[in-house]
Amino acid sequence: MGMSPVMAGFATNDLQSKSSPERIAAAAKEFEAVLIEQMLKEAHASSGFGEEQDQASATLREIADQQFARLIAGQGGLGVTKVLLQSLKKESA
């Protein structure tokens, strides 16, 4: 199994050619995006909405969830990135 498209997008856009603090922030943002994506998947699964989807619809929903998760994380998300960065800052001080 390969890298999630959410993580691959952040890896190519945010992690290359950045300094260490910027790379850490981008990795924290990636982590939050993956968490949000998993929450969206679980919400869809537990709601029972669209259980009888065809493969194309399921793929489209997966892509939409990935992009939505990335957008949410990029705009500050649920605050996980901020908490992680604050924790790492305390550890390094």
- At 24-43, the pLDDT tens digits run 899 999 999 999 999 998 98
Measured in residues, the chain has a length of: 93
Fill in the amino acid letter for 65: D
- In this prediction, residue 46 carries a pLDDT of 85
Please check the confidence at residue 9 and state whether its pLDDT lies above 60. Answer: no
C-alpha distances out from residue 6 to 46, 49, 63, 65, Å: 22, 23, 9, 9
Contacts of 3 (CB under 8 A, 6+ apart): 11
What's the pLDDT tens digit per position in 48-88?
765 667 889 888 989 999 999 999 999 988 999 999 999 98
Of 52 and 9, the structure prediction assigns the larger pLDDT to: 52
pTM listed for this prediction: 0.69
Residue 58's Cβ-side half-sphere holds a number of Cα atoms within 13 Å equal to 7
For the chain, what are the domain ranges?
25-92
Element (H, E) at 68: helix 55-74
Instruction: Return the closest-CA partner of residue 9 out of 57, 93, 70.
Output: 70
